[in-house]
Structure 1
Protein backbone atom coordinates (compact mmCIF):
# COMPACT_ATOMS: atom_id res chain seq x y z
CA UNK A 1 0.00 0.00 0.00
CA UNK A 2 1.28 3.46 -0.88
CA UNK A 3 1.38 6.26 1.62
CA UNK A 4 -0.44 9.13 -0.04
CA UNK A 5 1.21 12.38 0.92
CA UNK A 6 2.39 15.46 -0.94
CA UNK A 7 5.86 14.01 -1.48
CA UNK A 8 4.44 10.90 -3.18
CA UNK A 9 2.02 13.05 -5.20
CA UNK A 10 4.83 15.28 -6.48
CA UNK A 11 7.04 12.31 -7.42
CA UNK A 12 4.13 10.60 -9.17
CA UNK A 13 3.15 13.78 -11.05
CA UNK A 14 6.72 14.27 -12.32
CA UNK A 15 6.83 10.68 -13.56
CA UNK A 16 3.29 10.99 -15.01
CA UNK A 17 4.39 14.10 -16.96
CA UNK A 18 7.52 12.38 -18.31
CA UNK A 19 5.52 9.28 -19.29
CA UNK A 20 2.87 11.29 -21.13
CA UNK A 21 5.46 13.44 -22.89
CA UNK A 22 7.20 10.25 -24.09
CA UNK A 23 3.94 9.20 -25.85
CA UNK A 24 4.78 5.62 -24.78
CA UNK A 25 1.46 3.95 -23.89
CA UNK A 26 3.15 1.13 -21.99
CA UNK A 27 4.89 3.65 -19.73
CA UNK A 28 1.69 5.63 -19.22
CA UNK A 29 -0.50 2.60 -18.53
CA UNK A 30 1.99 0.96 -16.14
CA UNK A 31 0.43 3.03 -13.33
CA UNK A 32 -3.16 1.84 -13.94
CA UNK A 33 -5.08 -1.16 -12.62
CA UNK A 34 -6.62 -3.64 -15.09
CA UNK A 35 -10.10 -2.64 -13.85
CA UNK A 36 -9.53 1.13 -13.99
CA UNK A 37 -12.41 3.48 -14.73
CA UNK A 38 -11.63 6.84 -16.31
CA UNK A 39 -13.95 9.71 -17.23
CA UNK A 40 -13.28 12.84 -19.26
CA UNK A 41 -15.12 15.29 -21.49
CA UNK A 42 -12.44 14.40 -24.06
CA UNK A 43 -13.66 10.77 -24.02
CA UNK A 44 -17.17 12.03 -24.77
CA UNK A 45 -15.84 14.20 -27.61
CA UNK A 46 -13.52 11.60 -29.14
CA UNK A 47 -15.90 8.64 -28.90
CA UNK A 48 -19.25 10.44 -29.34
CA UNK A 49 -20.37 8.71 -26.14
CA UNK A 50 -21.99 11.30 -23.84
CA UNK A 51 -21.15 9.16 -20.78
CA UNK A 52 -17.48 10.04 -21.33
CA UNK A 53 -16.22 7.01 -19.40
CA UNK A 54 -14.05 4.02 -20.28
CA UNK A 55 -13.87 0.85 -18.21
CA UNK A 56 -10.77 -1.32 -18.06
CA UNK A 57 -7.15 -0.89 -19.05
CA UNK A 58 -7.70 -2.16 -22.61
CA UNK A 59 -10.41 0.44 -23.24
CA UNK A 60 -8.24 3.15 -21.69
CA UNK A 61 -5.35 2.10 -23.97
CA UNK A 62 -7.61 2.32 -27.05
CA UNK A 63 -8.88 5.77 -26.04
CA UNK A 64 -5.40 7.15 -25.30
CA UNK A 65 -3.96 5.62 -28.49
CA UNK A 66 -6.65 7.42 -30.50
CA UNK A 67 -5.95 10.62 -28.59
CA UNK A 68 -2.20 10.47 -29.21
CA UNK A 69 -2.88 9.83 -32.90
CA UNK A 70 -5.24 12.81 -33.06
CA UNK A 71 -2.88 15.08 -31.07
CA UNK A 72 0.66 14.14 -32.15
CA UNK A 73 2.17 17.21 -30.45
CA UNK A 74 0.56 16.44 -27.09
CA UNK A 75 2.66 17.71 -24.21
CA UNK A 76 1.87 18.24 -20.54
CA UNK A 77 3.47 20.54 -17.97
CA UNK A 78 2.56 19.92 -14.34
CA UNK A 79 1.71 23.20 -12.63
CA UNK A 80 0.69 21.96 -9.18
CA UNK A 81 -0.23 18.82 -7.26
CA UNK A 82 -2.52 18.07 -4.31
CA UNK A 83 -2.69 14.93 -2.14
CA UNK A 84 -5.76 13.36 -0.54
CA UNK A 85 -6.30 10.23 1.52
CA UNK A 86 -6.09 7.78 -1.40
CA UNK A 87 -6.08 10.18 -4.34
CA UNK A 88 -4.11 13.01 -5.87
CA UNK A 89 -4.91 15.92 -8.15
CA UNK A 90 -2.57 16.98 -10.94
CA UNK A 91 -3.04 20.51 -12.25
CA UNK A 92 -1.36 20.70 -15.63
CA UNK A 93 -1.14 22.75 -18.81
CA UNK A 94 -1.50 20.99 -22.16
CA UNK A 95 0.15 21.72 -25.51
CA UNK A 96 -2.29 24.53 -26.36
CA UNK A 97 -2.05 26.20 -22.96
CA UNK A 98 -5.29 24.75 -21.58
CA UNK A 99 -5.41 24.06 -17.86
CA UNK A 100 -6.63 20.61 -16.85
CA UNK A 101 -7.10 18.92 -13.50
CA UNK A 102 -6.74 15.17 -13.31
CA UNK A 103 -7.92 13.35 -10.20
CA UNK A 104 -6.49 9.86 -9.68
CA UNK A 105 -7.58 7.40 -6.99
CA UNK A 106 -5.14 4.66 -5.96
CA UNK A 107 -5.49 1.18 -4.52
CA UNK A 108 -2.58 -1.18 -3.95
CA UNK A 109 -0.21 1.24 -5.67
CA UNK A 110 -2.16 1.55 -8.92
CA UNK A 111 -4.71 4.01 -10.26
CA UNK A 112 -8.18 2.44 -10.05
CA UNK A 113 -10.24 5.49 -11.00
CA UNK A 114 -9.64 8.86 -12.51
CA UNK A 115 -11.25 11.80 -14.20
CA UNK A 116 -10.15 14.87 -16.09
CA UNK A 117 -11.75 18.28 -15.62
CA UNK A 118 -11.22 21.05 -18.18
CA UNK A 119 -11.45 24.82 -17.86
CA UNK A 120 -12.27 27.70 -20.20
CA UNK A 121 -9.48 27.13 -22.73
CA UNK A 122 -10.37 24.61 -25.46
CA UNK A 123 -8.89 21.17 -24.84
CA UNK A 124 -7.98 20.51 -28.48
Structure 2
Protein backbone atom coordinates (compact mmCIF):
# COMPACT_ATOMS: atom_id res chain seq x y z
CA UNK A 1 0.00 0.00 0.00
CA UNK A 2 1.05 3.55 -0.63
CA UNK A 3 0.74 6.25 2.03
CA UNK A 4 -2.52 7.58 0.51
CA UNK A 5 -4.02 4.09 0.48
CA UNK A 6 -3.12 3.58 4.14
CA UNK A 7 -4.95 6.76 5.18
CA UNK A 8 -7.98 5.75 3.12
CA UNK A 9 -7.94 2.26 4.61
CA UNK A 10 -7.87 3.67 8.17
CA UNK A 11 -10.75 6.07 7.42
CA UNK A 12 -12.84 3.25 5.95
CA UNK A 13 -11.95 0.99 8.89
CA UNK A 14 -13.18 3.61 11.38
CA UNK A 15 -16.32 4.29 9.33
CA UNK A 16 -17.17 0.57 9.30
CA UNK A 17 -16.76 0.38 13.07
CA UNK A 18 -18.84 3.52 13.53
CA UNK A 19 -21.65 1.76 11.59
CA UNK A 20 -21.09 -1.39 13.70
CA UNK A 21 -20.56 -3.21 10.38
CA UNK A 22 -18.58 -6.25 11.52
CA UNK A 23 -18.68 -7.84 8.05
CA UNK A 24 -17.13 -4.75 6.43
CA UNK A 25 -14.28 -4.83 8.96
CA UNK A 26 -13.84 -8.60 8.61
CA UNK A 27 -13.58 -8.33 4.82
CA UNK A 28 -9.98 -7.15 5.28
CA UNK A 29 -8.95 -10.10 7.47
CA UNK A 30 -7.46 -13.42 6.40
CA UNK A 31 -9.40 -16.57 7.34
CA UNK A 32 -6.52 -17.60 9.64
CA UNK A 33 -6.24 -14.24 11.44
CA UNK A 34 -4.56 -14.12 14.86
CA UNK A 35 -6.09 -11.24 16.83
CA UNK A 36 -4.97 -10.16 20.32
CA UNK A 37 -6.82 -7.66 22.51
CA UNK A 38 -7.28 -7.07 26.24
CA UNK A 39 -11.02 -6.77 25.58
CA UNK A 40 -11.08 -10.23 24.00
CA UNK A 41 -10.01 -11.72 27.33
CA UNK A 42 -13.09 -10.24 29.04
CA UNK A 43 -15.54 -11.02 26.21
CA UNK A 44 -14.24 -14.24 24.64
CA UNK A 45 -12.34 -15.71 27.58
CA UNK A 46 -9.00 -15.53 25.77
CA UNK A 47 -6.77 -12.58 24.87
CA UNK A 48 -5.92 -14.09 21.48
CA UNK A 49 -8.63 -15.09 19.02
CA UNK A 50 -7.74 -17.47 16.18
CA UNK A 51 -9.58 -17.48 12.85
CA UNK A 52 -12.19 -15.29 11.19
CA UNK A 53 -15.26 -17.17 12.57
CA UNK A 54 -14.00 -16.76 16.15
CA UNK A 55 -13.15 -13.10 15.52
CA UNK A 56 -16.65 -12.51 14.13
CA UNK A 57 -18.21 -14.12 17.21
CA UNK A 58 -16.02 -12.07 19.56
CA UNK A 59 -16.79 -8.76 17.84
CA UNK A 60 -20.53 -9.47 17.70
CA UNK A 61 -20.57 -10.36 21.39
CA UNK A 62 -18.58 -7.23 22.24
CA UNK A 63 -20.89 -4.99 20.20
CA UNK A 64 -23.97 -6.55 21.83
CA UNK A 65 -22.80 -5.14 25.15
CA UNK A 66 -22.18 -1.62 23.83
CA UNK A 67 -24.68 1.21 23.51
CA UNK A 68 -22.62 3.72 21.53
CA UNK A 69 -19.29 3.45 19.76
CA UNK A 70 -17.32 6.00 17.76
CA UNK A 71 -13.72 5.81 16.51
CA UNK A 72 -11.82 8.88 15.30
CA UNK A 73 -8.51 8.25 13.53
CA UNK A 74 -5.70 10.44 14.81
CA UNK A 75 -2.90 9.19 12.56
CA UNK A 76 -1.47 6.14 10.85
CA UNK A 77 2.03 4.69 10.85
CA UNK A 78 2.97 2.45 7.92
CA UNK A 79 6.04 0.26 7.42
CA UNK A 80 5.94 -1.00 3.81
CA UNK A 81 8.88 -3.39 4.32
CA UNK A 82 7.06 -5.38 7.02
CA UNK A 83 3.56 -4.50 5.74
CA UNK A 84 2.59 -3.29 9.21
CA UNK A 85 0.08 -0.55 9.90
CA UNK A 86 -0.64 1.13 13.23
CA UNK A 87 -3.90 3.04 13.42
CA UNK A 88 -3.78 5.48 16.33
CA UNK A 89 -7.30 6.56 17.22
CA UNK A 90 -9.65 7.86 19.88
CA UNK A 91 -12.27 5.34 20.98
CA UNK A 92 -15.53 6.58 22.50
CA UNK A 93 -17.57 3.69 23.88
CA UNK A 94 -20.60 4.46 26.03
CA UNK A 95 -19.04 7.78 27.09
CA UNK A 96 -15.65 6.26 27.95
CA UNK A 97 -12.83 7.87 25.96
CA UNK A 98 -9.48 6.16 25.37
CA UNK A 99 -6.58 6.53 22.98
CA UNK A 100 -5.95 3.25 21.19
CA UNK A 101 -3.59 1.66 18.71
CA UNK A 102 -4.64 -1.11 16.36
CA UNK A 103 -1.52 -2.75 14.94
CA UNK A 104 -2.19 -4.72 11.76
CA UNK A 105 0.16 -6.94 9.75
CA UNK A 106 -0.81 -7.64 6.16
CA UNK A 107 0.03 -10.77 4.21
CA UNK A 108 1.22 -10.80 0.63
CA UNK A 109 -2.41 -11.15 -0.52
CA UNK A 110 -3.29 -7.80 1.10
CA UNK A 111 -5.37 -9.32 3.91
CA UNK A 112 -4.61 -8.82 7.60
CA UNK A 113 -2.93 -11.90 9.06
CA UNK A 114 -2.18 -10.62 12.57
CA UNK A 115 -3.53 -7.82 14.71
CA UNK A 116 -3.00 -6.53 18.22
CA UNK A 117 -4.88 -3.80 20.05
CA UNK A 118 -3.34 -1.55 22.71
CA UNK A 119 -5.45 0.56 25.09
CA UNK A 120 -4.31 3.91 26.39
CA UNK A 121 -5.36 6.02 29.32
CA UNK A 122 -9.09 6.52 29.79
CA UNK A 123 -10.41 10.07 29.72
CA UNK A 124 -13.67 11.95 29.87
CA UNK A 125 -15.95 12.60 26.91
TM-score normalised per structure 1: 0.88
Looking at structure 1, the residues matched to 51 and 44 of structure 2 have their Cα atoms a distance apart, in angstroms, of 16
Which residue pairs with 2:118 in the alignment? 117
Which residue pairs with 2:59 in the alignment? 64
| Residue 43 (structure 1) aligned with residue 40 (structure 2) | yes
What is the deviation of 1:5?
A: 3.4
Q: Structure 2: 5+ residue runs without aligned partners?
A: none
What secondary structure sits across from 2:68 in the alignment?
Answer: coil
| Residue 27 (structure 1) aligned with residue 24 (structure 2) | yes
Q: Structure 1: 5+ residue runs without aligned partners?
A: none
What is the deviation of 1:112?
A: 0.7
Looking at structure 1, the residues matched to 45 and 34 of structure 2 have their Cα atoms a distance apart, in angstroms, of 18
Looking at structure 2, the residues matched to 84 and 70 of structure 1 have their Cα atoms a distance apart, in angstroms, of 34
When the two chains are superposed, the root-mean-square deviation of aligned CA atoms in Å is: 1.3
| Residue 98 (structure 1) aligned with residue 93 (structure 2) | no
**Number of positions where the alignment pairs a residue of Structure 1 with one of Structure 2:** 117
Greater strand proportion: 2
Which of structures 1 and 2 has the larger relative contact order (alpha carbons within 8 angstroms, sep 6+)?
1
Looking at structure 2, the residues matched to 55 and 72 of structure 1 have their Cα atoms a distance apart, in angstroms, of 26
TM-score normalised per structure 2: 0.88
Contact kept? 1:5, 1:84, Cα under 8 Å: no
